[in-house]
Structure 1
Amino acid sequence: MSKDRRTDDPVVLQKALGNFIRAFGLHQPETTPCGQAIPVSEAHALGELAQEGELRQVELSRRLRLQKSTVSRLVGQLSARGWLERVPAPEDGRGVVLRLTSSGRRAAQNLDDARRERFSRLLESIPDQERAGVLHALDVMVEALGE
């Protein structure tokens, strides 16, 4: 099979992505790729909230690209762990924002440390001359998926 034909074959892309998903551990939804025993969706929510300080639930849904009902369950799970609190929005007495508790901030920091370590090792494994291409390919994939 010619190289041109392989790059136009969606099965080739499917297999390549499947291999990446398995190698990176994304097929194990109850454990993060950095090895933490927390669902991936919770880890992403913690990261967004740690980065912003507080968010409205609708904004968290938008950032995570998840349905409102899914984020409602996610917020409930994080609240049950004692990692998240709902507080009145400062600019709107009826609105509510989500904010990490002190234990939620510690959990987010632990995840961030593990993530930084995992990605540092991964980056070191990619030859210097290939890194820009890998990052560009990921950007292209995200853009293509956004359509």
Structure 2
Amino acid sequence: MKSEQTTLIFRGVMALGRRLRAERPQGAPSLPAISILGTLRRLGPMPARRLATEERLQPQSLTRLIGDLESKGWIVRTRSEVDRREISIELTALGKAVFAEDMRARRIWLEHAIATTLTDAEQAALIDASEAMLKLSRL
């Protein structure tokens, strides 16, 4: 792949990401908070250490975020029965609802933009490209 093509992909991904962030609901949680809620939604309850790894955060940064999310009732922390030193983080029903509302607003915008802007062939290409980008994101 040529450098110009890679640059075009990069620009497209970044521009769409910025646009989707702009479509967040008024007063929505911070992007780091949404990321943590999304990880817990996708992977389920997990130890704080694993959550830090999944989020690529330093444990100190995660501690502050977790405290804020817990104070809002979006997550709960529980001690492991097996290893009392380990703390598990779990999404609450309220946390699931907050995450779903944030995603819903952006999904509505994206569905409308795709339907009104892209041809059927472009929509199919976008689906294929999305699958490839997800594959790359797992590296």
Structure 1 length normalisation: TM-score? Answer: 0.66
Q: Residues 140, 57 of structure 1: CA spacing in aligned structure 2 closer, same or farther, 3 A cutoff? A: same
| Structure 2: gaps spanning 5 or more residues | none
Residue 129 of structure 1 deviates from its aligned partner by 3.7
Shift of 1:115: 1.4
1:24 aligns with 2:13: no
1:34 matches 2:30: no
CA contact (8 A) 1:123 1:131 kept: no
Residue in structure 2 matching 1:66, options 53, 57, 64: 57
1:98 to 61, 81, 89: 89
Alignment-derived partner of residue 8 in structure 1: 3
The letter for the 2-side match of 1:34 is R
Q: What CA deviation, in whole Å up to 9, does each residue of 1:41-100 have, x standing for no partner?
A: 111212333455521112212322333332222112212334333211133233211234
AA of the residue aligned to 1:21: G
Where in structure 1 do 4 or more consecutive aligned residues deviate above 6 Å?
none
Query: Matched residues in 2 for 1:59 and 1:14: separation?
Result: 29
Distance 1:112 1:42 in 2: 13
* Alignment partners' CA distance in 1, 2:19 and 2:9: 15
Specify the code of the residue in structure 1 equivalent to 2:128: H
- Unaligned ranges ≥5, structure 1: 27-32
How many residues end up aligned between the 2 structures? 133
Which of 124, 127, 130 is residue 138 of structure 1 equivalent to? 130
Match of 2:76 among 59, 77, 85: 85
Q: Which has the higher helix share?
A: 2
> What is the root-mean-square deviation of aligned Cα atoms in Å?
3.1
Q: What amino acid does structure 2 have at the position aligned with 1:8?
A: S
Higher relative contact order (CA 8 A, sep 6+): 2
Q: TM-score, normalised by structure 2?
A: 0.69
Alpha carbons of structure 1 residues 71 and 87: separation in structure 2 relative to 1, 3 Å:
same
